[in-house]
Amino acid sequence: MADTNGNMIFAVDFDGTLSQGVPFPQIGEPNTPLFNYLKREKEKGARLILYTCRTGEDLRAAVCFCKINGLSFDTVNENLPEMIEKYGGDTRKINADYYIDEKCLSFPTVRRFDYMPDPDEDDVKAITAEIYDYNKARQAAFDEYAQGAGIEAGRPSGIYKDKPTIANPYYGA
């Protein structure tokens, strides 16, 4: 589904994805590794669409938050102009190669295309290290909070316990 020039299109959610840690309509902390990843992809030619349920002032606040954090979008809640022209209208579903949302679900019988960048690229090594550091810091903050609140914080077990993850930085929170 690349754009008419062959560039990848990313549709990105805001609440819980770019902004984390607070419920709508509040704006939380930026998901720094995701912001940095998307900025790098945009520098390579990728097209970015903010794909959110926010409207009105809440939407303007989200767009402003992203701009303050160095991320700009090609469109907001609409398809790219050339895709609208190609399909004869702005379809309700955003046309993208990848949808980034904290509520995504992979179903075993639905064919999935994982975008796996070359692990030897310097950008990939840098973002992997950044994600690991980010998750380690979030885990430490959660552990500190849990200890202060008298909550027993669980840890994963088995072969994945030391692996960094974006999807579950709190290990079960």
Identify whether 82 is part of a domain: yes
Number of neighbouring beta carbons within 10 Å of residue 82: 12
* pLDDT (tens digit per residue) in 90-116: 988 999 988 999 887 766 666 665 555
| Residue 41 sits in the same domain as residue 92 | yes
Q: Residue 14: pLDDT above 50?
A: yes
Are 73 and 133 in the same domain? no
Domain identity same for 24 and 60: yes
Residues 19 and 63 in one domain: yes
- The reply to whether 89 falls in a domain is yes
How many domains is the chain partitioned into structurally? 2
> In this structure, is residue 15 part of a structural domain?
yes
Q: Check: CB of residue 18 under 8 Å from CB of residue 31.
A: yes
Let me know whether 123 and 93 are in one domain: no
Let me know: does 77 contact 50? Beta carbons within 8 Å: yes
Residue 91 lies in a domain: yes
DSSP 153: -
- On whether residue 108 sits in a domain, the answer given is no
Same domain, 79 and 124: no
pLDDT top residue among 150 and 156: 150
| Chain segment 65-75, per-residue pLDDT in tens | 999 999 999 99
Q: Do residues 94 and 15 both lie within one domain? A: yes
Q: Which residue has the tokens 């030897």?
A: 120
Query: In this structure, are 37 and 93 located in the same domain?
Result: yes
pTM (predicted TM-score)? 0.68
| Domain final residue pick, 37, 70, 100 | 100
Q: Same domain for 94 and 145?
A: no
Domain assignment of residue 36, yes or no: yes
Residue 152's pLDDT is: 56
CATH of the domain at 72: 3.40.50.1000
* Average per-residue pLDDT for the chain: 80
Q: Which structure tokens are listed for 69?
A: 């954090």
Is 171 inside any structural domain?
no
pLDDT for 43 equals 94
| 42 compared with 117, residue with greater pLDDT | 42
Q: What range defines the domain where residue 134 resides?
A: 117-153
| Residues 28-51 pLDDT 10s | 999 998 999 999 999 999 999 999
Verify that 80 and 28 share a domain, yes or no. Answer: yes
Burial of 5 (0-12, 13-18, 19+ CB in 10 A): exposed
In a shared domain, residues 18 and 91: yes
Domain membership of residue 76 (yes or no) is yes
The verdict on 16 and 45 lying in the same domain is yes
- pLDDT at position 130 is 72
